[in-house]
């Protein structure tokens, strides 16, 4: 018997996350939503993505619960894509990717954007992984275990 190899059947949360939000356009749409872009035409203008690809990605992001579709806040006939709580929880993922890119994908003196704290006006601290006691952890400090719902 052949097991289903799709990410939906995977025990790996990374595989399932990539299936839901892991392609380039989906992450760029989510990034733009963090910058208060909400309308289809605004996403299309910002990203320069083909309308059919944008429509497909937005549909998937609504289906997985990252966005809600609502009437436009200005009362017009348009609709807006608003991040749900689930969608807003992707923020640390986007910030981690951004910080990695800032550190490793730009040459010295090359123009890039940096995410700033509104209150202090300073760049954000680097995101890191911490233990339950607050100790910084690396890959060799962690391991995976298989968990079945209902087990303690």
Helix (H) or strand (E) holding 103: helix 91-104
- Is the pLDDT at 71 greater than 60? The verdict is yes
Q: How far apart are CA 13 and CA 29, in angstroms?
A: 21
Tens-place pLDDT, residues 33-59: 999 999 999 999 999 999 999 999 999
Q: What is the predicted pLDDT for the residue at 3?
A: 45
SS3 55: helix
For range 108-126, the mean pLDDT: 94
For range 93-104, the mean pLDDT: 95
Contact 69, 79 (CB under 8 A): yes
Question: What sign does the CA torsion over 119, 112, 38, 128 have?
Answer: negative
Own/partner long-range contacts of 62-67 (Cβ < 8 Å, ≥24 apart) = 64/20, 64/21, 66/20, 66/21, 66/30, 66/90, 67/33
Q: How far apart are CA 30 and CA 81, in angstroms?
A: 10
For range 93-121, the mean pLDDT: 94
Q: What is the predicted pLDDT for the residue at 34?
A: 97
- Is the pLDDT at 2 greater than 50? The verdict is no
Instruction: State the average pLDDT for the chain.
Output: 91
- Of residues 3 and 113, the one with the higher pLDDT is 113
Q: What is the predicted pLDDT for the residue at 11?
A: 86
Q: What is the predicted pLDDT for the residue at 1?
A: 40
- Reported in sequence order, the residue ranges of the chain that DSSP labels E, i.e. its strands, are 67-71, 79-83
**CA distances (Å), 45 to each of 110, 122, 148, in order?**
25, 29, 44
For range 112-119, the mean pLDDT: 93
For range 97-112, the mean pLDDT: 94
Q: Residue 30, class by beta-carbon neighbours within 10 Å (0-12 exposed, 13-18 middle, 19+ buried)? A: buried
Question: What pTM does this model have?
Answer: 0.86
Residue 131's contacts (CB-CB under 8 Å, 6 or more residues apart) are 137, 141
Percent of the chain whose predicted confidence (pLDDT) is above 90: 80
């Amino acid at each position: 018997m052949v097991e289903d190899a799709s990410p939906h059947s995977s025990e790996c949360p990374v595989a399932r996350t990539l299936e839901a939000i892991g392609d380039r356009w989906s992450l760029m749409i989510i990034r733009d939503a963090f910058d208060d872009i909400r309308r289809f035409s605004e996403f299309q203008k910002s990203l320069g993505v083909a309308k059919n690809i944008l429509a497909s990605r937005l549909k998937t992001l609504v289906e997985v619960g990252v966005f809600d579709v609502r009437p436009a806040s200005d009362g017009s006939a348009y609709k807006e894509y608003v991040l749900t709580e689930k969608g807003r929880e992707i923020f640390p993922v986007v910030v981690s990717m951004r910080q990695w890119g800032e550190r490793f994908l730009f040459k010295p003196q090359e123009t890039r954007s940096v995410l700033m704290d509104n209150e202090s006006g300073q760049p954000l601290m680097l995101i890191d992984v911490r233990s339950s006691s607050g100790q910084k952890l690396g890959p060799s400090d962690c391991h995976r275990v298989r968990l079945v719902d209902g087990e303690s």
